[in-house]
Amino acid sequence: MSNIHTTIHPDRPRLWTIPERQISAHAVAAKSNILTQRLIDISERFFDIRFATSLAAEDIVLTDAITKTNSKIKLFTLDTGRLHPETINLAKTVSDLYDIHIQTVAPSERDITAFIAEYGINGFYEGEAPKNACCAARKIKPLNAALLGADAWLSGQRREQSATRTTINFEEVDATRGITKFNPLFDWTEIDLWSYIKHQNLPIHPLHFKGYPSIGCEPCTRPVREGEDIRAGRWWWLHSNSKECGLHDNQLPISNE
């Protein structure tokens, strides 16, 4: 029988991990109550509300809260055609767990064909312009289609996520689409988020266990090092202020509650 030795790589960088520190059960309950009230207030003010879920941690928390309030908020996810298999599988797991329908919205074949003809299948690696063109075809246009007829929509954005999100508010005007947008977790910290997930025993995206704090399309997302910005793994080949895809552009603040 041969011996198997574990090779130690002292120079290998430590990756981001799910925070071990938690807030108390009482604090989680308080956070949960505030979130519930926010969702109830939104449901009372608007008729057709839609929530774009990426199946990452923030969106799992919102999905859990939405189902517990029995609100009329409709869920959808953008299947860009380049998602990790784990994301696609988790969508079914979440649908089955909560007995809900998550609408899948895909890009048009014509838009994808046009992008590939101009830039190539992986042309987004060549710079900011092709990256934006790919996101427009695979994410922004499908989002626009998914929000047609809605008078409000929700995202899982948090201020603590990145330097580009530090000024987001609970309620904003989506000037691009002419509707109201809400960020119910805008003031939640990473510790708040993961404490809720652990206390409520929610499903966790498998990539969160592999150093991915933020999850997007498979070729455009990678693990991040411990201590890095949690969106550093998104479009890592571009400069630091290119960590957005355009889904949340042109949002005008209304209030912080």
Rounded Cα gap, residues 196 and 79, in angstroms = 27
Question: Could you tell me where the DSSP H helices lie in the chain?
Answer: 25-45, 57-69, 85-98, 109-119, 128-135, 141-146, 190-200
Catalytic residue among 134, 135, 217, 245: 245
Q: How much of the chain is in helix, strand and coil states, percent to nearest 5?
A: 40, 15, 45
Q: Nearest-5° angle of CA 170, CA 156, CA 101?
A: 120
Q: Residue holding tokens 């895809």?
A: 245
Report the sign of the C-alpha dihedral through residues 39, 43, 45, 48, in that order: positive
Query: β-strands 179-182, 74-78: how paired?
Result: unpaired
- Calculate the alpha carbon distances from 192 to 96, 118, 188, 199 in Å: 26, 44, 6, 11
Query: β-strands 171-174, 179-182: how paired?
Result: antiparallel
Known active-site residue 245: yes
| Active-site amino acid positions | 245
